[in-house]
Amino acid sequence: MKILHVSAVKSWGGGENQIELLFEEFKNNFQEVKNLILCVKDGLFYKKLKRNNLSFKTAPLSFNFDLRYSLKIIKICKEERIDLIHIHDPKALSLVILADNFYSLPPMVFSKKTSFPIKNRKQTLYKYNHPKLKRILCVSKKSRDIAAEKIKDEGRLKNIYHGVSIEKQKKLTAKFNLREKLELKEDVILVGNIGNHIPAKDLTTFIETAEKIVKQQKKLKFHFVQIGHFTAETPPLLKYLTSNKLESHISFLGFQENASSLIPQLDFLLHTSISEGVPNVIYEAFYHKTPVISTNVGGIPEIVTHMENGLLADAKDAEKLAELLLFLQENKTLISRFTENGHKKLVENFTTKQMAQQTLLEYKNVLYGRY
């Protein structure tokens, strides 16, 4: 079974991490599947793949409908005799559909990794309802419900949660000690956030939550650290820190290789997104038994149950997030219960092996004509 995975994302984030994890799981445990990735030439995903022993090809992508990318898809399908195309982002879906206009491509599946609604535009509706798109693999039930509003044949929609590679997490080692790097004493409570600087992550609320904690009257000492790629969203965030004299309380470290290796050093993970499929970082916090405080958006409430394995607040509610953070710090007996429950839920439901098994089943259903 030869699968072509198509990504048109130039950056590196949770979605690209999941492609790599799925590829590795197939390679190690499901060798009847032969995988090949097509990614953007000279993008961050390409640079990451170069360092790993994974099969990939590249094509230039200078603008959204760069025909060179679509022609490369056709070339690979012909030369490699691809059985099925697994598409990993909306731009890649457009490029695959464009290629199919020039050459009859094999059947397709698409991974919907966000909870963003499908836009009500003729061209967008056409590609998501394309006859060769046999499955839409939704990262959460919420994502599936949102997609169902615009998909004519709801039988194509399947819910497959992403997962964590237990073996990979075991092998990760941090390259530095956060407290030493930030010159923090042991009594400082370290609160972290991991995510690229994009609007969906709402890092403004992360800063506002930190600000409320810093200004609280209790004698607790906190430091907040944010890890993720800087973008055009970054300068206003850094300006806010300076304007409000928060630089000594909040550190922005930018992109860090294998950021999940730093999670065990955190006292709390604070996740403030306004839109999500299901964030990998929460899975990783579950694995490392780091307590999670998060907004209740997208598929997050499907994995985090309030007062069972974490704490949840509404999006943009910095006041509530700060309140929950202080509550958990002051009720430490809850932490071990939350983290044990989270770890157990992860191991039983959200591993890359389970993700690969479920994905392979859908590949077979498509290729063998099973609905």
Digit-coded pLDDT (tens) for 91-131: 999 999 999 999 999 999 999 999 999 999 999 999 999 99
229: left (phi over 0), alpha (psi -120 to 50) or beta: beta
Cα angle: 323, vertex 324, 329; to 5 degrees:
100
- DSSP label of 44: H
Please say if the pLDDT value at position 82 is more than 80.
yes
Hey, what domains does the chain have and what are their CATH numbers? 2-162+351-367 (3.40.50.2000), 168-349 (3.40.50.2000)
Are the C-beta atoms of residues 19 and 55 closer than 8 Å to each other?
no
Q: What is the mean pLDDT of the chain?
A: 94
CB atoms within 10 A of CB 117: 11
Closest CA to 162 of 22, 23, 273: 22
User: What pTM did the predictor assign?
Assistant: 0.92
pLDDT at 371: 58
pLDDT at 254: 96
pLDDT at 216: 81
Cα separation values, 58 from 9, 47, 115, 283, Å: 12, 11, 28, 30
Higher pLDDT, 216 or 113: 113
Adjacency order of strands within the sheet including 108-112: 56-59, 34-40, 2-6, 84-87, 108-112, 133-138, 157-159
The SS3 assignment for 270 reads: strand
Please classify residue 161 by burial: count the beta carbons closer than 10 Å to its beta carbon, then call 0-12 exposed, 13-18 middle and 19+ buried. buried
Amino acid at 33: V
Adjacency order of strands within the sheet including 222-227: 250-254, 222-227, 189-194, 268-271, 292-295, 311-313
d(CA 181, CA 179): 5
d(CA 5, CA 209): 39
Q: What is the pLDDT of residues 244-294, one digit of tens each?
A: 999 999 999 999 988 999 999 999 999 999 999 999 999 999 999 999 999
d(CA 94, CA 25): 27
Torsion of CA 207, 208, 213, 216, to 10 degrees: 140
Please say if the pLDDT value at position 43 is more than 90.
no
Closest CA to 147 of 158, 160, 162, 132: 158
Please say if the pLDDT value at position 364 is more than 80.
yes
Residue 370 pLDDT level (bands cut at 50, 70, 90): low
Segment among 1-10, 11-20, 122-131, 198-207 with least mean pLDDT: 11-20
Q: Please, what is the end-to-end C-alpha distance for the chain in angstroms?
A: 18
Q: Are strands 84-87 and 108-112 parallel, antiparallel or unpaired?
A: parallel
Residue 217 pLDDT level (bands cut at 50, 70, 90): low
Q: What is the pLDDT of residues 330-353, one digit of tens each?
A: 999 999 999 999 999 999 999 999
Give percent above pLDDT 70 in the chain: 99
pLDDT (mean) for 82-91: 97
Contacts of 79 (CB under 8 A, 6+ apart): none
Residue 17 pLDDT level (bands cut at 50, 70, 90): confident
The SS3 assignment for 86 reads: strand
Cα angle: 295, vertex 159, 342; to 5 degrees:
45
Residue 71 has which token pair? 């022609």
pLDDT at 53: 78
